[in-house]
Structures are given as structure tokens and as C-alpha cells.
Amino acid sequence: MQRYPRHLKCRIVAVALASLLAAAVPASAAFPVVRYHQPLGVTRGGEATVVLKGERLSDARQILFDQLGVEVLEVKPIDDKSVELKVKTSSELAPGQYSFRLITASGVTNLRFLSVGAMPMVEEVEPNNDFTAPQDIEMNRTVEGNVDREDVDCFRVSLKAGEKLTVEIEGIRQRWDLQNRDILDPYIAILDDKRFEVAVSDDSMLFQQDGVCSFTPEEDGQYTVLIRDSSFLGQRDVCRYRVHIGSYPRPTTVIPAGGVQGDVLQAKLIDIDGNITEASLQLPTDLIDPANGSAPPTQPYPVITKDASGITPSPNWIRVGDLPIVTETEPNNDHRKAPLCSVPALLCGVIEEPGDYDCFAFECKKGEKFRVRLFARETLRSPLDGVMNVFDADGKAVKSSDDSGGKPDGFFDFTAASDSQHTIRIYDHLRGGSPLHNYLIEVSHLEPSYQIDLKELRRDEAMVVPVPINGHGAMVVVAKRDQYNESFDVEIEGLPPGVTAKTFPMPAGRVEIPVVLSAAPDAELTGALFDVRGKGKLGDGELTSRLEQYHKIVLGQNRRAMLDYRTSRAAMAVCEAMPFSVELVQPKTPLLRRGSKDLTVRVKRDEGFDGPVYFKTLYNPPGVGVNNSRKIDKGQTEASIPITANSNAAMGAWPMIMQVSYGTKLGTQTVATAPITIDVEDAVFNYTFPRAAAETGQETNLSITMAKIRDLEGDIEVQLVGLPNGVTCSAPLQKVNLESTTVTFPLTIAADAKTGMHKTLNVQTLIHRDGETMIQTDGTGEIRIDKPIVKKEPAAEPEKKPEPAPPKTDAPAKPLSRLEQLRLEKESS
């Protein structure tokens, strides 16, 4: 869904065969919710009563429309779930959807849309789900109805031969759902009296999930318009629709689809039935906001068609800006022989037949930076799935783009490498083409810029700011930077009387900064749409930006936005006062890198309020963490909130705001504290831990080397923490000074201490000043604990027993000499 520029005025331009009307559309929790309303729209040129349905609406007070043209006569709460709204519209108001927010005494509702039409309205009457017994209606009527589960609605009209019947439905465009449930995906059909479908539409290029179809009979007869959910789903009172049944013009394509503001655009309109008409449209002179230096060079612009048969129920969208228009000239299929043009420019054309290519050549200077952006499906609702290429003078591809950022329209930047001619080529991804495949290619110089939005604090819901009387509300401004990393100031405009804003500069290179709104004790319960502006330096000049808030309307599978919207202003409401006052106490000393601090928050309760009060940080300075689990319980008035800074925390003065939540009769209200300043400073010492080792049952000294980083006033102590089980220190807190180089801690290791390597030792530097303590924590040191080594005594050698004497044996006989042997022989003989 496109955003209506809020400052546009309605224009009707007479033409030969048709007229174009520039859509005169100017510019769990206690949060209230509007789920649907009945009727969904009104007929322009009179007064009407609309009943809003939702939750927590009993204190409704005001309606805020983003565009001009709808006058609110009365806002009257009926009960907690409904509010009666009386509005008045001009007879010249452009048809379309007008976004609004309901303001209550407790907050701001989600964004909703009131449709404004030109045809009389008819309410669906059940039973009408039988083809043989449909609801008879006259031609050129807008019917409002509801699709229940497995429901089919039938409406019968009478047609003359040659009388065109066009059916356009607002189904998903009338839903609000962030949970992917009960989403009406309408199916429409035109049936003849024999029950044959002569025209059908489920989805459409023009309205995505909402269909549109047309039929022109050759003879008189009765025809039935059938409406159901495409999957036969639905739900009573939730899946409501508006269907426009008539002979009104319904262009699907405007060619060219862009122009220069202030010019008269000579346009060709291609209707849904194929008829082509010529028309002239005076484009606005003030569409491009000179105060927004970061805005794109073209903006979306709504166009309504009017002729003798009627007026379109919803606009076609084109792009209008300050870029000169270049219309394609055939032949231009060959990128080596493309017609020459000048850029920056808005290149307009049509991929007229399958296999067609369109090429545009232009001269570049070396180092010249360009941004190339395609508009086809996303803005123009063209069937073109465009693919773009850039070629240099040698025919070499420099850059290309098919889809970009999950969108079917391409986008890329490129830098010219030489003084030469470059060429842009575009074609359809599937090589399709038709007279409806129109496109715009925005070629501009790449310039520094930044876009401003508000951060979601409730998932998928655009930020609204409740501000209690004599209290504070807060939001976070986020910046999407593009080639620009300088600091810039934030300004708030459009707040009601009695409400002021406390802003902080967006630091260089950062993308988030809080803003606090405060309501005076005498402020009135009211709401307002406010602007957020950024002002920064760019060289000797100024670079500005303005808010563009993104709203998710319907989410499908995987939380994909099936319907979304953008507004140029955000909403706030002055709410009923809190039943207590709250103070986030300003600390007197800084938060150190690698350090921690306790913030003190106090409440002073009004008589009769004794409920718990919860605290959660709104915004963390870079590198700072906050404990978001703290609360002040019933009967208490104070709590401490621990915060820490890592070793790379950004130094400097940073705002700190806490969100404050408490129970009310409508649910949980969330507001904010007044801001305080957290000064983040560098650490004071660096520490070097030794590789310590000790044995159980012994004592040892742990000497840690310390080196001063900077000077800091205060009394300094160093404390050893993180001792393993079984290890104690008799003097864990040691006094030191800025000149100290070591700090020694005596350790005693118990006999039953756990052995092994322990990497749990830390030292805390405690710096006492002004009644506060600055803490810096460093580690991790290690100590190895072993069991004592037991020395073994040498064992006594056993007494050696004397070995028994060997038994006596006769000595071997002495060998006889030869003479003795002869003597013995003689004697024996």
C-alpha cells in the first residue's frame, strides 16, 4: 500500500475522453486496539456514523487522520469494545483509504483505514449464498459484507448490451492482523444466468490479494457477482469487505507512469477492458519537500480517473519529482546501439512484447557515482519482473539487478570507471511483455543521506508514545544511514500545548538515540501527529531528513508483510497521570569500562496504589548492558538496577531512560522515567595475572601486576574475588594508589581443596568518591592446585642368610703317570 502525501489537495482535470483526479489525499497491554469498524467506509459528500470495534476503548476521546479531507464531528465511547464516530466529507473528496488513529486517555490505537467512495452503499443481507436466490442490487453500488467460514455471497445486477460491469473488492485492505490468522483472501467472479463464469479474479497485479475483474455483455441479461474466500475460510464480523460493482473506469496502467512536478502530464490510460484513452493531468508543484534533503528524487503520487461512467474507487500510482523525463524510443533493443540520453533522469518505457529489451545510453565522467532504482511491480503494479544491466563502452557488464531486498524491483549503485558511455538495459525475467509491462528507472547521483524512523518497542507494531500528565513518555529514533556517518540533531515538531521534547544528538556512526516527551501538570488529555526531523552537517552545508514511519498492517507466513503502509508523522497521546511519581536517580560518578554500577530508582505512591512497578531499559548506550528483571514490589519504594560496561563500551555522556510498567484497570500501561546521563569512562588499571600454583594444605602469595591507564580521583581498593572452593584469602581487600604496580593477596589452600586448574580469579577495582563506588572488574586469572608430593624413605635391605656350605666331595683322583700305571699293571699281574 502506498503512502498518501499528506499535504496534497484534490484536483480534477478535464480531458477529451477521460478525466484524471489527482487523489486529493493530503497530506495484554493497556494500549487500545481497533480491530475493525462498521461500516468500513462512507460515501463522500455527507455525514456518516461509523462504529469502531476493538479492546480498551472506553476512554476514547479523539480521532487523528493522516490526510486532510475527513472532518470528525463526534467521538463517543459506547463501552470498552466499541466507539461511535461521526464524520463529514466533501463531495469532491478523492475516493480511497484514509488512515487514522484513535486517541484514548491511556494511549493510541493501531493504524486503521476509513474508505471513502463515490457510489451509494448497500449492506449485504443474508441469506444470499445460493446462486438461485441472490441479493438483487442496482448497478454502481458499493456493497459491504462479511465472509464467514465456507460462506458465499451472491449479488445480482441487470446489464444492457455493451454495458461494462467492473468488480473491485477491498478485502485484505480492510484487515489488520499481525498473527497470520483470519486473513481474508477474497475470490470474486461474474457469472451469467447459466452459472458460467464470464470473469474471475483471485489475486490481481493492481491490488495483490484483492481482485478486480470486468465483463461487457453482448446482449441484455442478469449477471451474478460471487464473493468468497479463496480457501473457503472466513470469520464473522472480522473478514469484512467492500465490493464496488458498476460501470466506472478502472485503468490498470498509466503511461508514462512518471512526470515532473508542476508539469502537465500527457498520459495514456489502459483500462481493464483494454480500452485506451488519452488524458492530461496537472501534476502538483509541492510534492518534493525541500526541507527533506535525504528524500528520494521522486515520490509516489495517487491518480484517480473520472469520466461520464463514474470514478475509480481507488487510485493508480505514479512517480513525480524533479528529474527530467526520458521516454524510450524504438529501436532500442541492442545495448551496443542504444539511443543517447542525459542523466540524472526518470527513464520511462514499456516492455511491449515477449522477448523485448529496452536500452538507454548516457555519458559518464570517471568516478561519477549513480544510483539506479526500478519502479514496476512495487509502485506501478506492473506485471513486469524487471532485470536491469549496466554496460560500459566496451559492452562489458558493470552491474546487474533482478530482485532487491525481497522486493521484485531491482536496485543498485555503480561508479563509472572512465569518461565513457554507459548503457542501462531492462527486460522481463521470464522474457514476457505486453502493453501493460510499463516501468520507470530512476537514475540519480549517489548522494549521502539518512532515513529516520521510530524503533518498534512492541513487536511488529509501529511506535506510539503515551505521555502521562506530569510524567514522561519515550521513543527511540533510528537512522538508516547511506554514505553518511556524521552526527546530526533531532528535532520534534507538532506536539500539543503542554508537551515538550528532550532530544539528544545522534552520535556519528550510530543509528539509535532516545527522545523523551514530557507533559506538564496542566496538560490536557489530547493527541497529536508529530514530525521528527534530522539536521546534520555535510561539508559547508546542511543535510536534513524527515520521519517516514513504517506500519505493518497484515502479516502472513514467516511474518512476511502482506500489507504495509508508511506515514510521514507519528502519533502521541497525553494520558491520565500515573498513580505514583518515579525518579531514576542521577549517579554522581561515571561507569567504567569493564565495570559495573547500580542505578537507583524510587517511586512515591499515591494513596490507594500499592501495585508492583516494573522497569526495563528503553535504550542502551553502545557496549552497556542493563538488568531488565528488576521491579519495585508491593509495599516497597526503591530498587537497584545493575548496569555493566564491556571493554569496548563507547566513552562519553549517554542518555539513560527506563520504561516504567504498572497495572491499570485496562491492563498494563508503559511510560518512561525522566532521562539521566551515564558517563562512560575508560578503565583505570590493567592487570596481569601470574600463573599461580599451590598445594593443598599450604599457604601462598598471589602477586598481580597492575599498570595505570589514567588518573582518576578517589580512594582505591582492589578486591580479589572468584576464589575456588577450599581457597581463602585473609586479606581479600587491599588499599592501593595510582602509583601501585603490584597487589599481593595471601592465600590459604585447605587440605580438602579441589585439585586441578581453576580459571575463576578476578580482581575488582573499587574507587570511592562522592559517596559512591566505581567498580572495575578484570580477569580471568588462574591457579593450579595440586596434592602434596610425598617423599618415599628407602626401604631396608633384608638380612642375607648365609648360603649353606656345599657338601664335601672327594677330590678327583690325581691322574697317574705312565710309569705309575705300568707299576700297577705289574703288581696286579
Name the band, by pLDDT with cuts 50, 70 and 90, for residue 779: confident
Residues 81, 105: Cα–Cα separation, whole Å: 15
Looking only at the bridges linking them, the beta strands covering 638-645 and 595-605 are antiparallel
Mean pLDDT of 378-392: 95
Contact 646, 595 (CB under 8 A): no
Contact 131, 224 (CB under 8 A): yes
Thinking of the domain 121-246, which architecture would CATH place it in?
A: Sandwich (2.60)
Q: H/E element holding 625? A: strand 624-626
pTM summary value = 0.89
Residues 464, 569: Cα–Cα separation, whole Å: 11
Topology (CATH) of 580-681? Immunoglobulin-like (2.60.40)
Topology (CATH) of 325-447? Jelly Rolls (2.60.120)
Residue type, 67: Q
Q: What percent of the chain has pLDDT over 70?
A: 94
Per-residue HEC secondary structure of 453-501 comes to: EECCCECCECCCEEEEECCEEEEEEEEEEECCCCCEEEEEECCCCCEEE
Number of residues in the chain = 829
Closest by CA to 755, choosing from 705, 694, 806, 698, is 694
Class for the domain spanning 450-575: mainly beta
Contact 176, 553 (CB under 8 A): yes
Residues 389, 425: Cα–Cα separation, whole Å: 5
CA 475 to the chain's CA centroid: 14
Residues 34, 55: Cα–Cα separation, whole Å: 7
Mean pLDDT of 55-62: 95
- Cell 478535464 belongs to 14
- Specify the pLDDT at position 816: 73
Q: Dump the DSSP string for 376-396.
A: SHHHH--S--EEEEEE-TTS-
The vertex-505 CA angle with 500 and 511, nearest 5°, equals 115
Contact 661, 612 (CB under 8 A): no
Q: Dump the DSSP string for 498-558.
A: TEEEE---B-TT--EEEEEEEE-TT--S-EEEEEEEEEEEETTEEEEEEB-EEEEEEE-GG
Closest by CA to 260, choosing from 514, 118, 442, is 442
- Specify the pLDDT at position 9: 43
Residue type, 170: E
Mean pLDDT of 160-179: 96
State residue 821 phi and psi, 5-degree precision: -60, -40
Cell numbers placing 551 = 506500519
Residues 98, 250: Cα–Cα separation, whole Å: 20
Residues 39, 191: Cα–Cα separation, whole Å: 27
22: left (phi over 0), alpha (psi -120 to 50) or beta: beta
404 DSSP assignment = B
Whether the per-residue pLDDT at 640 is higher than 50: the answer is: yes
More confident residue, 544 or 819: 544
Name the band, by pLDDT with cuts 50, 70 and 90, for residue 824: confident
Name the band, by pLDDT with cuts 50, 70 and 90, for residue 182: confident
Residue type, 424: I
Residue 106 makes CB contacts below 8 A (sequence gap 6+) with: 30, 31, 32, 56, 59, 466, 573, 575, 576, 664, 666, 669
Mean pLDDT of 160-177: 96
Whether the per-residue pLDDT at 116 is higher than 90: the answer is: yes
Whether the per-residue pLDDT at 611 is higher than 90: the answer is: yes
Q: Is 738 exposed, middle or buried (0-12, 13-18, 19+ CB in 10 A)?
A: middle
Contact 640, 631 (CB under 8 A): no
Q: Is the dihedral of CA 724, 725, 729, 734 positive or negative?
A: positive
Cell numbers placing 416 = 563509472
Q: Which of 10-19, 391-400, 467-476, 777-786 has the lowest mean pLDDT?
A: 10-19
Whether the per-residue pLDDT at 320 is higher than 90: the answer is: yes
SS3 318: strand
Q: Is 162 exposed, middle or buried (0-12, 13-18, 19+ CB in 10 A)?
A: exposed
Residues 156, 189: Cα–Cα separation, whole Å: 12
Whether the per-residue pLDDT at 404 is higher than 70: the answer is: yes
Q: What are the b/e assignments for 541-575, b being 16+ CB within 10 Å?
A: eebbbbbbbebbbbbeeeeebbbebbbbbbbbbbb
Mean pLDDT of 376-395: 95
Cell numbers placing 716 = 582505591
Contact 232, 149 (CB under 8 A): yes
- Specify the pLDDT at position 17: 35
Q: H/E element holding 253? A: strand 251-255
Q: Where are the domains of the chain?
A: 121-246, 251-321, 325-447, 450-575, 580-681, 685-786
Cell numbers placing 534 = 534530522
State residue 266 phi and psi, 5-degree precision: -90, 105
List pLDDT tens digits, range 447-464.
999 999 999 999 999 999
Residue type, 700: T
Cβ–Cβ contacts within 10 Å for residue 647, how many? Answer: 11
List pLDDT tens digits, range 28-50.
567 899 999 999 999 999 999 99
List pLDDT tens digits, range 667-700.
899 999 999 999 999 999 999 999 999 999 999 9
List pLDDT tens digits, range 230-264.
999 999 989 999 999 999 999 999 999 999 999 99
Residue 218 makes CB contacts below 8 A (sequence gap 6+) with: 161, 162
Name the band, by pLDDT with cuts 50, 70 and 90, for residue 61: very high
Topology (CATH) of 685-786? Immunoglobulin-like (2.60.40)
- Specify the pLDDT at position 6: 46
Cβ–Cβ contacts within 10 Å for residue 596, how many? Answer: 18
Residues 663, 633: Cα–Cα separation, whole Å: 12
State residue 557 phi and psi, 5-degree precision: -65, 145
Whether 121-246 and 450-575 share one fold: the answer is no
Cell numbers placing 195 = 452459472
Residues 170, 519: Cα–Cα separation, whole Å: 40
Contact 510, 463 (CB under 8 A): no
776: left (phi over 0), alpha (psi -120 to 50) or beta: beta
Whether the per-residue pLDDT at 7 is higher than 60: the answer is: no
Closest by CA to 527, choosing from 823, 107, 246, is 107
Whether the per-residue pLDDT at 150 is higher than 70: the answer is: yes
CA atoms within 13 A on the CB side of 449: 15
List pLDDT tens digits, range 185-204.
999 999 999 999 999 999 99
List pLDDT tens digits, range 698-722.
999 999 999 999 999 999 999 999 9
List pLDDT tens digits, range 341-355.
999 999 999 999 999
What does the mean pLDDT of the chain come to? 92
821 DSSP assignment = H
Looking only at the bridges linking them, the beta strands covering 47-55 and 82-89 are antiparallel
Residues 320, 303: Cα–Cα separation, whole Å: 11
Closest by CA to 568, choosing from 540, 589, 546, is 546
Residues 261, 285: Cα–Cα separation, whole Å: 5
Q: Which of 17-21, 138-142, 652-656, 779-783 has the lowest mean pLDDT?
A: 17-21
